[in-house]
A and B are shown apart, each in its own frame.
Chain A
Amino acid sequence: MKRLPILGDEAIAQGAIDAGLTAIYAYPGTPSTEITEYVLRSKQAKEAGIIANWCANEKTAMEAAIGVSYTGKRAMACMKHVGLNVAADPFMNSAITGANGGLVVVSADDPSMHSSQNEQDSRYFGKFALMPVLEPHDQQEAYDMMHYGFDISEKYGTPILMRITTRLAHSRAGVTLRETRAQNDMRLPENARQFVLLPSNARHRYDILVRNQDNFIYEAETSGFNKFTDGVDKSMGIIVSGIAYNYVMENYQHNNLPYPILRIGQYPLPVDMIRNLIDSVDKVLVIEEGYPLIEEQLRGLLNNGSKPIHGRLDGTLPRKGELNPVIVAKALNFGEPTLNIVPEFIVGRPPQLCAGCPHIDSYTGLNEAMADYSGGRVMSDIGCYTLGALEPFNSINSCVDMGASITMAKGAADAGLVPAVAVIGDSTFIHSGITGLIDCVTYNSPVTILILDNETVAMTGGQKSLAMGKLENIVLGAGLKPEHLHVIDPRKKFHEQNTELMKKAIAHQGVSVIIARRECIVALDEIKAEREKLAAQTN
């Protein structure tokens, strides 16, 4: 049997390929990006004709995946946790339509916010949608769960959510592969109205989903991904989910864990397994990577369980942030180890724009163009250029969600903050900026939009930007007058003229767009390859 050294993300991708995947759709986002990258690079996927697409955003990715499922084939949509917010509409409704071909959505959470705006726990989205959730504890299980996930998706006609966290996504281990399953043939839904969510049909479909809950719980009790191991010391029982299991076991290297333990890897929660554990012990410790989802359900609103429950809500574990073996050791009453002390003179080394980055020239120009106005007028967005909020630039005043720069600038301008400026990257503009531009154009809001076009999705490592070759046409197509669209080359030697142009655009009492175009300095090879593909397409 073949064994590969792969990241958790890559184990998911390889698992999907081996489980007969037909198509994968995604928008890049740490820590989920490597799933789709792996399929894009996989020779096996290429030979099998598997479609792997970077999409405009997570919503379009999710919808395309539903479309594949509609045809009876197996599909995946992958995103980071906040991407699931963008995809929430199709995601929630896909639980109602149900799946035809197997449909697995992967959401990669980022506890402690290593590369994110929040640390929301995607398991809540699964519960919200009444959808089964899989949460692997290691790379091998991530691989195995893809096979199982597609199978039960088809067995019950439901989409499946797989939730992972940063540490598993970006950690490598040996994974043993299975035989490859062939892709499904096309087989449209037996009921031609399955995917028609008109109220009368939606009510019917929702009824099916609600009735399926017992089946989902039955699967959770029997699949083996929720695993009970008994222990001799009944003074405490442990319920642990996903990767947190590893942090418990790390503290019992010689397999000498004395307590009964229930490892959760599949939701909805296996009620009988939990009841059996709690009945056999004096108290319970709940250890979850993420929000206290299991703990909250065990406690209930009135905290009316018969046994003491410990976890993130009573301070036994920290209320927020990523877990690790030492934090878990403390909750298990191990003494604190004596550690070397990190010297006080060690200072932080925040990330920063690369030497030669085009954003440096854009921000230098913008700062000068804005020098005549009071501060606090530049709304921005999500990408490398968010680093413009830090020293030495201090150029931007917001970063909320994908596309919010343009719409927040509109709102601020509407409220009287004139001029207001929006700074957004090329790919972020495609993701969620276009609709905001249409709002601005419609009301001729006094907003200047600076699109920093480095021709790639740089922050996540240089994935294809869907803006390439299209930006001017999109901006004009949104209704902007051509005289208010400007394209500049952000370089030191053009500093004066670029700054002058920015000043004029900012002074204009209506919408203007400046595209600052120069390729990302670290993704030159990727950009060149995409340009060549684009040229070949247009010829």
Chain B
Amino acid sequence: MNNENLNSEKFKKDIIIAGVGGQGIVSIASVIGYATLEAKLFFKQSEVHGMSQRGGDVQSHFRIANAPIHSDTIPMGNADLIISVEPMEALRYVNFLNSDGWIITNQNPYNNIPNYPDLNIVYDTINQFPHSIMFDAEAEARKIGTAKAANIVLLGAASSFLGMDYTMLETGIRKLFGRKGDKIVDINIRALARGAEIFRDIKK
């Protein structure tokens, strides 16, 4: 470990990545994971395996710091950021969010249950959080080439919160998707860039 981050004052980012099994939660976490290693920071990332992956609600806790991290899971009230691939799933974890925390979420519902709540109420509730942005990540991903990259568009929108250089996320994408070929890497690099751009536009 030899990095300027370690010499500066204490730094930590606690991130909850949320969605439904099969929506690419683990991919978001893996890209951040590779990027964190590149940035030579400490991290712990807890993920859900097993039964819930079959269309159930899933989440990953991602903790980044410049000092050793204790708990594998984020204490409630401590998360700096929720990245969600599904709007209702973003709200499921708001008890983990700290008072300055951000919600960055896709607006497309994943409706695989008979009692999905009124979407307008879901949207209104998300918008009531002082730091939240919500957009159609699937539409943005589709413009780039595939709706599947919606997860990486969302990661792009969150990229300025992660406390690491943007290029390290690009490196993370190359490492994660490299074996799937240049085309997939390229789509995801552009998805990341588009997400970052959307965040800048909305913040203006």
Interface residues of A (CB under 8 A from B): 3, 5, 30-31, 33-34, 114-115, 167-168, 170-174, 243, 245-247, 249-250, 324-326, 329, 337-343, 345-354, 384, 387, 391, 459-461
Offer 18 A-B interface pairs, CB within 8 angstroms, sorted by A.
A34-B49, A114-B48, A114-B50, A167-B46, A171-B46, A172-B33, A172-B43, A172-B47, A173-B45, A173-B72, A324-B76, A325-B75, A326-B76, A337-B76, A338-B77, A339-B77, A352-B54, A460-B50
Contact for B54 among A114, A340, A387, CB less than 8 A: A387
- Asked whether, in the complex, the Cβ of A351 is within 8 Å of the Cβ of B70, the reply is no
| Closest residue of B by beta carbon distance from A347 | B115
- Asked whether, in the complex, the Cβ of A349 is within 8 Å of the Cβ of B56, the reply is yes
- Asked whether, in the complex, the Cβ of A172 is within 8 Å of the Cβ of B45, the reply is yes
B contact residues, total (Cβ < 8 Å): 48
| Given A174-B42, A342-B92, A342-B94, also A325-B52 (CB < 8 A) | no
| Given A171-B47, A345-B121, also A352-B72 (CB < 8 A) | no
| Closest residue of A by beta carbon distance from B97 | A340
Contact for A250 among B71, B89, B92, CB less than 8 A: B71
Q: Does B57 contact A (CB under 8 A)?
A: yes
Q: Which chain B residues in 42-94 approach chain A with CB under 8 Å?
A: 42-57, 69-73, 75-77, 88-89, 91-94
Shortest Cβ gap from B3 to chain A (Å):
13
- CA–CA, A387 and B50, complex, Å: 13
- CA–CA, A350 and B51, complex, Å: 9
Greatest chain A CB density within 10 A among B43, B47, B55 is at B55
Beyond known contacts A173-B45, A174-B43: 13 more, CB 8 A cutoff: A114-B52, A173-B43, A324-B76, A339-B95, A343-B94, A346-B92, A347-B113, A347-B115, A349-B113, A350-B113, A352-B112, A354-B54, A459-B51
CB neighbours of A460 from chain B (8 A):
50
- Asked whether, in the complex, the Cβ of B77 is within 8 Å of the Cβ of A351, the reply is no
- Asked whether, in the complex, the Cβ of A172 is within 8 Å of the Cβ of B125, the reply is no
Q: Does B24 contact A (CB under 8 A)?
A: no
Shortest Cβ gap from A14 to chain B (Å):
16
- Asked whether, in the complex, the Cβ of A171 is within 8 Å of the Cβ of B44, the reply is yes
| Closest residue of B by beta carbon distance from A7 | B47
Shortest Cβ gap from A227 to chain B (Å):
14
CB neighbours of B88 from chain A (8 A):
346-347
- Asked whether, in the complex, the Cβ of B44 is within 8 Å of the Cβ of A351, the reply is no
| Given A249-B70, A340-B97, also A345-B118 (CB < 8 A) | yes
Contact for A351 among B43, B52, B114, CB less than 8 A: B52
- CA–CA, A31 and B53, complex, Å: 13
| Closest residue of A by beta carbon distance from B72 | A171
| Closest residue of B by beta carbon distance from A325 | B75
| Closest residue of A by beta carbon distance from B115 | A347
CB neighbours of A337 from chain B (8 A):
75-77
Q: Which chain B residues in 12-66 approach chain A with CB under 8 Å?
A: 20-21, 33-34, 36-37, 42-57
Shortest Cβ gap from B59 to chain A (Å):
11
CB neighbours of B37 from chain A (8 A):
3, 5, 174
- CA–CA, A243 and B73, complex, Å: 11
- CA–CA, A191 and B42, complex, Å: 49
Q: Does B116 contact A (CB under 8 A)?
A: yes
CB neighbours of A387 from chain B (8 A):
54
- CA–CA, A245 and B57, complex, Å: 28
| Given A173-B45, A349-B55, also A324-B73 (CB < 8 A) | yes
Q: Does B181 contact A (CB under 8 A)?
A: no
CB neighbours of B33 from chain A (8 A):
5, 172
Shortest Cβ gap from A172 to chain B (Å):
4
Greatest chain A CB density within 10 A among B76, B93, B113, B115 is at B76
- Asked whether, in the complex, the Cβ of A342 is within 8 Å of the Cβ of B91, the reply is yes
Contact for A324 among B48, B71, B116, B121, CB less than 8 A: B71
Greatest chain A CB density within 10 A among B20, B56, B72, B95 is at B72
- Asked whether, in the complex, the Cβ of B44 is within 8 Å of the Cβ of A173, the reply is yes
Contact for A352 among B56, B70, B97, CB less than 8 A: B56
CB neighbours of B112 from chain A (8 A):
349, 352
CB neighbours of A168 from chain B (8 A):
72
- CA–CA, A249 and B68, complex, Å: 11
| Closest residue of A by beta carbon distance from B76 | A326
- CA–CA, A462 and B201, complex, Å: 42
Top 4 nearest A-B pairs (CB, nearest first) are: A115-B50, A30-B50, A351-B56, A171-B72
- Asked whether, in the complex, the Cβ of A30 is within 8 Å of the Cβ of B51, the reply is yes
- CA–CA, A352 and B125, complex, Å: 27
- CA–CA, A245 and B69, complex, Å: 12
- Asked whether, in the complex, the Cβ of A33 is within 8 Å of the Cβ of B49, the reply is yes
CB neighbours of B73 from chain A (8 A):
167, 171, 324-325
CB neighbours of A171 from chain B (8 A):
44-47, 72-73
- CA–CA, A435 and B89, complex, Å: 44
CB neighbours of A352 from chain B (8 A):
54-56, 112
- Asked whether, in the complex, the Cβ of A246 is within 8 Å of the Cβ of B42, the reply is no
Shortest Cβ gap from A168 to chain B (Å):
7
- Asked whether, in the complex, the Cβ of B50 is within 8 Å of the Cβ of A31, the reply is yes
- Asked whether, in the complex, the Cβ of B50 is within 8 Å of the Cβ of A345, the reply is no
Shortest Cβ gap from A170 to chain B (Å):
5
CB neighbours of B44 from chain A (8 A):
171-173
- CA–CA, A346 and B52, complex, Å: 17
CB neighbours of A345 from chain B (8 A):
117-118, 121-122
Shortest Cβ gap from A354 to chain B (Å):
6
- CA–CA, A342 and B50, complex, Å: 25
Greatest chain B CB density within 10 A among A172, A337, A341, A460 is at A172
CB neighbours of A247 from chain B (8 A):
70-71
| Closest residue of B by beta carbon distance from A345 | B117
CB neighbours of B53 from chain A (8 A):
351, 461
| Closest residue of A by beta carbon distance from B74 | A325
CB neighbours of A33 from chain B (8 A):
49
CB neighbours of B121 from chain A (8 A):
345
